[in-house]
Amino acid sequence: MKEKWNERYANEAYAYGEQANEYLKQCLIQFPPGKVLFPAEGEGRNAVFAAQMGWEVSAFDISEEGQKKAMKLAKKKNVSINYQVGDFKNMNFQKGEFDAIALIYAHFPAAVKSAINKDLAEYLKVGGLIIFEAFGKNNLELKKQDPAIGGPDDIDMLFSMNELIADFPNFQIIQLQEVEVQLQEGLYHNGIGSVVRFVGRKES
């Protein structure tokens, strides 16, 4: 798994581009800056954008090559981010540490993805936000028609709205939808994809 990502990120070009994900941008600018965590942040496009917007940024990913590219992008944009290399289970953030957690195409293995969402919620303050965009289960059919859209081939790694409702039961839902969107993100997300978008506020 880690080898696949290191190989992808060893390329000079940014796999998902240097620009942050559009939904992340739209959502993040609506809230006052605080402390934000980016799990599975790859080459750092979203983390760097948040730092440019004045957020104090933590990020992690299993890929060392991802970290190198993220730090290079941060230097280019003249911002600082705290980016750790490792698996979620080896991270030790504090309960209630973050004002926001942004899960952008954080496609963890199917067997652990719900457990990770539930554990991540613990790191959020009451009143804190989850901002989420990732491929939905409907993306499988779209990917068959146009592989350039990318995303996992395992339906259990893809998301549904009901899974998010179950993973974040103590959240006020600000937005939740599965929609088809046009993506143009670097080398690997190009075309019409089906994505689940969620913004939720932790209530207790």
Ligand X SMILES: C[S@@+](CC[C@H](N)C(=O)[O-])C[C@H]1O[C@@H](n2cnc3c(N)ncnc32)[C@H](O)[C@@H]1O
Contacting residues toward ligand X, per CB under 6 A: 5, 16, 21, 40-42, 45-46, 61-63, 66, 87-88, 104-108
What are the backbone angles phi and psi of residue 129, rounded to the nearest 5°?
A: -115, 140
| In the complex, minimum distance from the CB of residue 126 to ligand X, in angstroms, rounded to a whole number | 25
Instruction: Output 154 or 203, the one with its CB closest to ligand X.
Output: 154
| In the complex, minimum distance from the CB of residue 109 to ligand X, in angstroms, rounded to a whole number | 7
Instruction: Mark 24-48 as b/e (b = at least 16 C-beta within 10 Å).
Output: beebbeebebebbbbbbbbbbbbbb
Separation of alpha carbons 55 and 137, rounded Å: 32
Instruction: Output 65 or 178, the one with its CB closest to ligand X.
Output: 65
State whether the Cα torsion 166-168-170-174 is positive or negative: negative
Instruction: Output 70 or 124, the one with its CB closest to ligand X.
Output: 70
Around Cβ 148, how many Cβ atoms within 10 Å?
13
Note whether 185 and 123 are within 8 A (CB).
no
| In the complex, minimum distance from the CB of residue 203 to ligand X, in angstroms, rounded to a whole number | 26
| In the complex, minimum distance from the CB of residue 108 to ligand X, in angstroms, rounded to a whole number | 5
| In the complex, minimum distance from the CB of residue 94 to ligand X, in angstroms, rounded to a whole number | 19
Instruction: Output 80 or 90, the one with its CB closest to ligand X.
Output: 90
Note whether 15 and 186 are within 8 A (CB).
yes
Instruction: Output 87 or 97, the one with its CB closest to ligand X.
Output: 87
Separation of alpha carbons 96 and 120, rounded Å: 10
Residue nearest to ligand X (CB): 42
